[in-house]
Structure 1
Amino acid sequence: MEVTLLGTGDTTGTPTPDCSCDTCEAARERGVKRSRFSVHVHNERTDESLLVDASPDLRHQFLANDVPLPDEVLISHIHFDHLDGLGNAYRLVSDVPVHAADETDPETGESVVGTVDRRYDYLDAVTPVPRTPFEPFEACGLELTLVPVDHPPLVCYGLAIEDPETGAKLSLSGDTNYGVPEDSREALRDPDLLLADGIVPEHLCEYHPLGGNHEVDGEFMTFGTKHMTFEGARRLGRDLDADETRVVHVSHFVPAEEAFVEPLAVDGERYVL
């Protein structure tokens, strides 16, 4: 499978509009971007493409990257930076299955797939498909498994994608703190590539109103409650025995001298698994 990172940034992206911070200026000077999160997975065997999350920047992402429009879509959770690009399906694609979890979220009173159905019921191009966490299903000739992670207050899901023919595996942590449940970790384990949520370096926890969480070896693995630190993302990669880990969902609050170093991803990276 060929994996293209269409969007590797957080909710405002980098550079952030109307921001002249050192990191945003450095991104402009380098000609790199971290738009809102989205990943393209192409199955060369079947010539089908899966889109994981629908970024609000989706149109520009597909113009900037030489990848085909999706045959199927998966939505990890209902935050706007992962869902609101789904409206781009209008006049671009037709009858696209949109896979999403069927568990009811106590916070919203509906499931992720229910929210997709309600929000986009006017789009004939979108066909919501309910999926139960931990129950593998087929999409684009690949085996997908949704797993619960921890992104309070809303439910959110990580994802394991495996090619049943080649054994190649891509795991995505989803938006999460370091407290990923053990059964979910087991499903994500041993990927060729892990895309791990990491929003800032650990030393910035002192500026979060809630500080840091999930302290390991004197370092916070979680920034506040919702996202991993870079240290947490890298440790999750080691926990899962990932062959390679790329840190995604990176914010522009990262000091410029730390913002473009390994293993922090930028838009447009491609991997063949």
Structure 2
Amino acid sequence: MKVTFLGTGTSQGIPIIGSQHPVCLSENSKDKRLRVSVLIEWNGHNILIDCGPDFRAQMLANNVERLDAIFYTHEHNDHTAGLDDIRPFFFRQGNIPIFAHKRVLKALRERFDYIFTTENKYPGAPGVKEYEIINEPFEFEGLDVVPVNFWHGRLQVFGFRMEDFAYLTDLKKIEDKEAEKLKGVKVLVVNALRREAHHSHFNLDEALEFIRKIGPDRAYLTHISHLLGFHDEVERELPENVFLSYDNLKIEI
């Protein structure tokens, strides 16, 4: 399994438009972050987790030629706004499978009604095939996928475990029975927004405590804001098995 971090930033990305914050002015490419998303390559298949507003740029930056499925964590704009840009994949492959909670599918149908309609559909619009995720394991093309249920403030979100890899973003609270699904995972990705506490995201201390609780071989922090600090400085502070992810980082599991 190969994982590409397509984007590692928070909802505004880094740099923030018009910001004079030192991190936003950094010339280090690792401090420039598109909206959060990962691409998982497994057994000849490309699986995208979240399809945000930077999707087109992310696909071009990584020369992605095929998209086999999109798994959605939740319906917020920074995780869904790029759906229209699946058109090149649709034109080559046909309807793209999308997997999401029924609430998220409903939100996508309302926002992108022209994609989901079956009557008088505009010929240039892409098409999708919907699959509802419930909090039970499912299989995609031979890959066992375990949804992990948690809370982003008061909003339900799904993370995903796939074999020895798990991806959780926009996490603030998780029940013990859901965290148990992550035991034995070798690589864990989890959000760490900033140093100060936040009402709906882990801060750095909460993310590190969660990583200690799960005990992966390696962990990567994502969904990062400029308030966390400069990439190189933050990474020097982290435990030896914890890393700050950055856009276009590729890892193998």
Query: Which of 177, 183, 186 is matched with 1:183 structurally?
Result: 177
Tell me, in whole angstroms, the C-alpha distance in 2 between the residues paired with 1:120 and 1:259: 39
CA displacement 1:76-96 (0-9 Å, x = unmatched): 001100011112112432311
How much has 1:11 moved relative to structure 2? 0.4
CA displacement 1:201-227 (0-9 Å, x = unmatched): 2xxx3xxxxxxxxxxxxxxxxx23200
Tell me, in whole angstroms, the C-alpha distance in 1 between the residues paired with 2:199 and 2:58: 29
Aligned pairs (5 A) from 1:42-121: 42-43=41-42, 45=43, 47-93=44-90, 94-102=94-102, 111-121=103-113
Contact 1:159 1:188 in 2 (8 A): no
Aligned pairs (5 A) from 1:1-273: 1-26=1-26, 29-32=27-30, 33-43=32-42, 45=43, 47-93=44-90, 94-102=94-102, 111-123=103-115, 124-133=126-135, 135-162=136-163, 169-177=164-172, 179-201=173-195, 205=196, 223-256=197-230, 258-259=233-234, 261=236, 262=238, 263-273=243-253
Tell me, in whole angstroms, the C-alpha distance in 2 between the residues paired with 1:16 and 1:120: 26
Aligned to 2:121: none
How much has 1:39 moved relative to structure 2? 0.4
* Most deviating of 112-121 and 15-24: 112-121
CA displacement 1:241-273 (0-9 Å, x = unmatched): 111111100001223374555522110111111
Alpha-carbon distance change, 3 to 68 in structure 1, aligned in 2, over 3 angstroms:
farther
Contact 1:234 1:245 in 2 (8 A): no
Q: Which runs of no fewer than 5 residues in structure 2 stay unpaired?
A: 116-125
Q: What is the TM-score normalised by the length of structure 2?
A: 0.86
* Most deviating of 113-122 and 140-149: 113-122
Aligned to 2:118: none
Q: What is the TM-score normalised by the length of structure 1?
A: 0.80
Identity of aligned residues (%): 28
CA displacement 1:98-132 (0-9 Å, x = unmatched): 00123xxxxxxxx1222223333422522221111
How large is the Cα RMSD of the aligned pairs? 1.7
CA displacement 1:164-213 (0-9 Å, x = unmatched): xxxxx111122111x21111101122222111111012xxx3xxxxxxxx
Q: Which runs of no fewer than 5 residues in structure 1 stay unpaired?
A: 103-110, 163-168, 206-222
Contact 2:65 2:89 in 1 (8 A): no
Contact 1:73 1:98 in 2 (8 A): yes
Aligned to 1:218: none
